[in-house]
Amino acid sequence: MIPLFSATGLPLGPSGDLNTIISLLMYLSFILFMFFGQKIQVRLMLLEVDGAVKRLEYMRNDAKLLALKTVKEVGKPKEDPTPELNMMLEQFLISPEGMDPAGLVWKLDHILNVRDMKFKDDVKKIAPEADESQVNNLENLIEASQAMNTIYRIVRHFYLLGKKTSSFYIILQIQMILPLVMQEAEALIGAARAFSQGQPIGDGAGALVAAKLMRGKEKRKLDRDIVAAETMIEGRRVIPLKAEGPGGNVGKPGDAMKRIIEESNGKIAMVIMVDAALKLEGDKTGDLSEGIGAAIGGPGTERFKIEEEAVRHKIPVYAIIVKESIMEAIAPMKKEISEAAELVLARIRKLILDRTKEGDIVVVAGIGNTVGIGQ
């Protein structure tokens, strides 16, 4: 009989019989792992992905409920907006065919314009009492919920497909990127909360800088939700522009820039673009970097328009970026990012002094989502 306790009082102490059993168990586990190692690994990975799918489902529902609650509170719809909201969460966009790339940008721009207009109309329909700024915030909130819904569905797709096929490589794909996916989902939940309350997000760093330049000056509205003003810095005429706040909005800075350049007959000495940009791990949030080129993200159509105009009129385009992570860009604005705006203004002043002369016209474009930032 195997003694349950050894002389030291420990359960299963060393004895001849026990050594044999342990050796046998080791051989057995070795054989087991040799034949079923990958299956065991697949089961463990599926368990991990299953937990993530459940968490994502909760987060997706949380974002959806938040959107529904905000729509009801702000928009005061007469009918239940749930079916319309569900439809909006599943909306998609088909990119134009790229086999013949000529004119692709304008095709994409057109599709994006139609999509933006339809989405805004849909939001107005389910939130008839919301004002323009609230409609913009609701639009962004529903977009965040839409992104959460897409993430959940993609992870669930790979999970179920992996479960169905027991394919190690299908499950491995999703398991490997799971930490990044979960981080992004958490940031999206933060973004949904920020949009529901109209709090500034990290992406608004550029808009904040332009707003600081505009404060107290007369503003005028340009195309598609963009506002511009005029101010003087060291004898130079500076035209700051940004998306119209405080509702969540990015506007169409490309079109606005084209209009300003045309109004000045192309006599712009310099364009400075300020935007939030992705930092690399190890970089400090809120640090600045200076460069050349159009600092603007998104699908690329606005960058194309700015580059086209800059080349046509030979206008140098400078970029100042505020470093932040993807999570910080869509979460409520951090103190470091908010404080970086003053440092950006100092850089703009230095650039203007170094690269232009008195009487020149300079355009400062504050790029990014202007939620929670007025002007």
- Min separation Cβ 79 and other proteins, Å: 19
- Min separation Cβ 102 and other proteins, Å: 43
Residue 332's φ and ψ, nearest 5 degrees, are -50, 140
- Min separation Cβ 355 and other proteins, Å: 29
3-state secondary structure 102-120: CCHHHHHHHHHHHHHHHHH
Which residue number, 301 or 375, has a Cβ lying nearer to other proteins? 375
Is 220 within 8 Å of 375 (Cβ atoms)? Answer: no
Which residue number, 140 or 325, has a Cβ lying nearer to other proteins? 325
Tell how strand 231-233 and strand 236-243 pair up. antiparallel
Nearest to 140 by CA among 24, 246, 233, 242: 246
Which residue number, 7 or 102, has a Cβ lying nearer to other proteins? 7
Q: Report which residue type is found at 141.
A: L
Which residue number, 136 or 301, has a Cβ lying nearer to other proteins? 136
Which residue number, 1 or 7, has a Cβ lying nearer to other proteins? 7
Tell how strand 236-243 and strand 270-278 pair up. unpaired
- Min separation Cβ 57 and other proteins, Å: 6
Place of tokens 């692709």: 104
Which residue number, 7 or 94, has a Cβ lying nearer to other proteins? 7
- Min separation Cβ 350 and other proteins, Å: 23
- Min separation Cβ 349 and other proteins, Å: 19
361 CB-near residues (< 8 Å, 6+ apart): 236, 237, 238, 239, 264, 267, 268, 269
- Min separation Cβ 246 and other proteins, Å: 4
- Min separation Cβ 221 and other proteins, Å: 17
CA-based max dimension of the chain: 101
What is the rounded CA–CA span in Å between residue 141 and residue 14? Answer: 64
- Min separation Cβ 297 and other proteins, Å: 21
Which residue number, 157 or 215, has a Cβ lying nearer to other proteins? 215
What is the rounded CA–CA span in Å between residue 110 and residue 228? Answer: 24
- Min separation Cβ 241 and other proteins, Å: 16
**Secondary structure (DSSP) of 3-27:** -SB-TTS-BT---HHHHHHHHHHHH
Which residue number, 231 or 264, has a Cβ lying nearer to other proteins? 231
Is 367 within 8 Å of 206 (Cβ atoms)? Answer: yes
Which residues in this chain contact other proteins in the complex, by CB under 8 A?
Answer: 6-10, 13-14, 51, 54-55, 57-58, 61, 64-65, 186, 189-190, 194, 197-200, 208, 211, 215, 245-246, 325, 331-335, 337-339, 372-375
Long-range CB contact pairs, 279-285, < 8 A, 24+? 279/323, 279/324, 279/325, 283/323, 284/323, 284/336, 285/323, 285/324, 285/325, 285/328, 285/334, 285/336, 285/337
Residue 340 φ/ψ region, left for φ over 0, alpha for ψ in the -120 to 50 degree band, beta for the rest: alpha
Which residue number, 215 or 220, has a Cβ lying nearer to other proteins? 215
Which residue number, 24 or 353, has a Cβ lying nearer to other proteins? 24
